[in-house]
Chain A
Amino acid sequence: MSGNNPNVSCPSCSHSFTLKGKAMTLAMTCPNCHIYYRRGNWNKDITKFENTYPQALPLGAKGKIDGTVYEVMGFLVKKEKRYKYTWREYMLFNPYLGYAFLSEYDGHWNFIWPIEDNPKEHRVDNSFVYEHETYQLFQKYNAEVIYANGEFFFDVVDLTDSTLTEEYIAPPFLLGREVNEDSLLWFKGEYITEKELSEAFDIPAKNFPQKRGLGYTEPVSTSFSDQSLIIVGILLCLFVILSQLFLSSFDKNTVVYQDTFSADKLTSQKVFITPSFTLEGSSKNLDIETYAPLSNDWFYAEFTLINEDDGTEYNFTKEIEYYSGYEGGESWSEGSMFGEALLSKIPGGHYHINIYPEFSTLNHEFSIKVTRDLPTYTNMWVVILCIIIYPAVYLVHKRYREQARWSESDYSPYD
């Protein structure tokens, strides 16, 4: 068995087969008896696995990830030594870029590749910034390989067994630090969706393991960042405010009628009928302000605004009351001498108002002021509230999801 010969034979069953990785393959499993063994004379051990595991990506499958075509060379199932959970890794190979991995846990996938940087050099914190992203320690573990299939460019079984792995996340990215007695390796990874993987390898997504929960690097939203959402929300609010200011500059705020009425001029029909007044233009709002000089008293009236052109009547009532006094060394007051009725969408035309007042025994006078096309701001605040609601709900939801994500970690910043 020569180190450069692509043809090898199994030390257990003597089955001959050809290596796809040629001289780069240093460990492999026999396609016939499925034992794992190392190439060359440096290690004659063979490893037999107790169980076999299904793999979503078959050996030899080719897929294009980030514009690079990779071929699936090997498949591993790893088990964490302390908490005993398992996950799956696929070793990928591209002749120009070398190897990479696809890692899958609970139906969530990460594409992982080695990097030459040492992102945490000279840092001892569990959190650090790398390439403008803040990474936080998510997990530290020792693992073992409980199943392997295919070819590998290093002894994955022994290396995994002797390596302490630290994983730092900044969803959708992760940084992995693998340390053993001989080496220190850094990997970078990025969450990849089932859909992207399905398209990359042309394998139906239903063949992949079912997703459960939130992946540890799965972003809450894959399509936008918090910063973009907040900026867009602020810009929209500013646009609403500017629109309000612009529209208000066209509001005429015209007083179309005002008068004072005394009880002694009340007709036998108990009604005051205002002279006709004209509302110019198309549909606008109309504000009717009532004032009565009250002192510990009330005033009530029924109003009917009548469109003389088409006979439409708008009936409404207004009650105002004002009380004041001096009690316990302090003066107090409640209510107001003013009342306001704001009517929407009143078309232009000729109008008058019938007023049916009810006077108390003290007050015998009131006045009204009718204003057309009054600037109002309630609609603007409602629109701003609606614009703010989505980012607010999204950010609360995101925090809830982040807490759920970190509940799987021994290093949660939420504890």
Chain B
Amino acid sequence: MIPTDELKGLRYYIISAILLLSLFIYSDIIGWNWFNDTSTEQTRMHRVHSNGRYFYHK
């Protein structure tokens, strides 16, 4: 359907699309939404303690 030499001419476009597609599949696997994400502020507390229902940080 598409001549081989024309596919060769489109190789950079196809390679770029395949790389983008790979990132898309990887993002879906790890649950990474590129744009409509809710902005979060991420912190890490090193000592989290649980006391039944309640959790507190030291």
Contacts and interface: CB of A to CB of B under 8 A. Distances in A.
* A and B associate in one complex: yes
Interface of A: 221-225, 228-229, 231-232, 236, 239-240, 243-244, 247, 273, 275-276, 282-286, 305-306, 308, 310-316, 318, 340-346, 352, 354, 373, 376, 378-380, 382-383, 386-387, 390
Nearest to B5: A223
Given A308-B50, A342-B36, A313 B42 contact: yes
Given A223-B9, A315-B43, A387 B17 contact: yes
Contacts, number: 133
Interface of B: 1-3, 5-10, 13-14, 16-17, 20-21, 24-25, 27-48, 50, 53-55, 57
A312 B25 CA distance: 26
B33 A376 contact: yes
Contacts of A231: 1-2
Contacts of B28: 244, 247, 379
17 contacts: A223-B8, A223-B10, A228-B7, A231-B2, A236-B17, A239-B21, A247-B29, A273-B55, A308-B50, A313-B43, A315-B43, A316-B40, A342-B33, A344-B37, A345-B32, A378-B35, A390-B16
A234 to B, nearest CB: 11
Contacts of B46: 311
Contacts of A342: 33, 36-38
A342 B36 CA distance: 8
A390 B31 contact: no
Contacts of A379: 24, 27-28, 32-35
Contacts of A318: 38
Most A Cβ at <10 Å: residue of B7, B16, B27, B47? B27
B6 A228 contact: yes
Nearest to A251: B28
